[in-house]
Structure 1
Amino acid sequence: MYELSQRVVLLVEDNPDDELMTLRAFRKSNLHNPIVVVRDGAEALDYLFMQGRHADRDPSIRPQVVLLDLHLPRIDGLEVLRRIRANEQTRTLPVVILTSSKEERDLVEGYELGVNSFVHKPVDVTAFFEAVRQLGMYWLVLNELPTALPSRKSA
């Protein structure tokens, strides 16, 4: 199992202000885990599937959780989620949609596609920091993931 400080967060966020606030919230909460930031859906998929500019990243470093915005350039967050759940290697990866969207259809579709949690980004900075602190504590400290995916046996 990864040590707590080795549990990587993949932050998929195209808004520089939201990215900065999220990073500050993690630091302020004393969560010093490595955070990989990608700025669009295509780059998120490249990182997760080790392709494109992320083709030679260390395959042993698997994110503990993906914080996924919905309204992203190139490939939107729901399509990223769909592809994560469709792939055997990433199917069980925890994904939290962290978005400013208040659209009911985004919430419903996110859960239909298998998101683990859906969190609205609070507008208030203090509330945002608290939301990120709670997310970090749960997904990086309390939640346990297997060190490797179980192999599928053919019937």
Structure 2
Amino acid sequence: MMTKAEIILVEDDPDDVYLFMSACEHLEPQPHVAVLGNGAELMQLVEQEDCRDKVILIDLNMPLMDGLETMAKLNAFPEKDTLCFIGFTTSSNQHDVKRAYELGAKSFISKPGTLVEMIDLLQTLSRYWFKFNRFYKEV
């Protein structure tokens, strides 16, 4: 059984947000997506609500607080080990990949450039994280 997909997209580029949201319209069930424009907005959200059963996709190149800085700040939260944050970027720089994993990223995904590729990625991501994966939450 697939639980309702809850995705937080931390992305400042309106074109990337549009492509992502357009792909989501083709998914069944459609995920609930919260779009945040930068890492500072994510920090506020994580402080205010439990995000341990959500997938957080973090772009690396953003104003105010970039993705790697955001991942570093997520490490200050007590639930950091159970937060599912993923690097989601156009970068394929091996330093960025290594640093994201060092900071606790659960995965590092290169952004697809077409709608068909984005749909495929989001179907796979949703199936894995929300059908087969089990998030940890204390009861």
- Relative distance call for 1:119 and 1:60 in structure 2 (3 A) is closer
2:129 corresponds in structure 1 to 139
Corresponding residue to 1:72 among 56, 59, 62: 62
For normalisation by structure 2, the TM-score amounts to 0.87
C-alpha deviation, 1:143, in angstroms: 1.1
Residue of 35, 42, 45 corresponding to 1:44: 42
**Cα distance in 1 for residues equivalent to 2:51 and 2:113:** 32
Q: 1:11 aligned to 2:12?
A: no
Separation in 2 of the partners of 1:63 and 1:114? Answer: 16
Aligned partner letter, 1:92? T
Q: Which runs of 5+ in 2 are unaligned?
A: none
| Structure 1: gaps of 5 or more residues | 51-58, 150-155
CA distance in 2, matches of 1:14, 1:128: 17
CA distance in structure 1 between the aligned counterparts of 2:51 and 2:82, rounded to whole angstroms: 15
**1:99: which partner in 2?**
89
Find the residue that maps to 1:87 and give its secondary structure. coil
CA displacement at 1:46 relative to structure 2: 0.8
Rounded Cα–Cα distance in structure 2 between residues aligned with 1:92 and 1:79 = 18
How far 1:63 sits from its partner (Å)?
4.6
1:28 counterpart residue number: 26
Alignment-mate amino acid for residue 13 of structure 2 = N
Residue 113 of structure 2 corresponds to residue 120 of structure 1: no
SS where residue 49 of structure 1 aligns? Answer: helix
The count of corresponding residues between Structure 1 and Structure 2 is 138
Larger radius of gyration between Structure 1 and Structure 2: 1
Answer yes or no: is the 8 Å Cα contact 2:86–2:107 preserved in 1.
Answer: yes
In the TM superposition, what whole-angstrom CA distance separates every residue of 1:53-93 from its partner, at most 9, and x where no partner exists? xxxxxx35655210111111100101111121231033311
User: Aligned residue for 1:129?
Assistant: 119
Q: Report the alpha carbon displacement of residue 138 of structure 1 after superposing the two structures with TM.
A: 1.2
Cα contact 1:11–1:35 (8 A) shared by 2: yes
Maintained 8 Å contact 1:9/1:35: yes
Q: C-alpha root-mean-square deviation of aligned residues, in Å?
A: 2.0
Distance 1:83 1:109, change over 3 A: same
C-alpha separation in 1, matches of 2:53 and 2:96: 24
Distance 1:121 1:74 in 2: 21
CA distance in 1, matches of 2:127, 2:106: 15
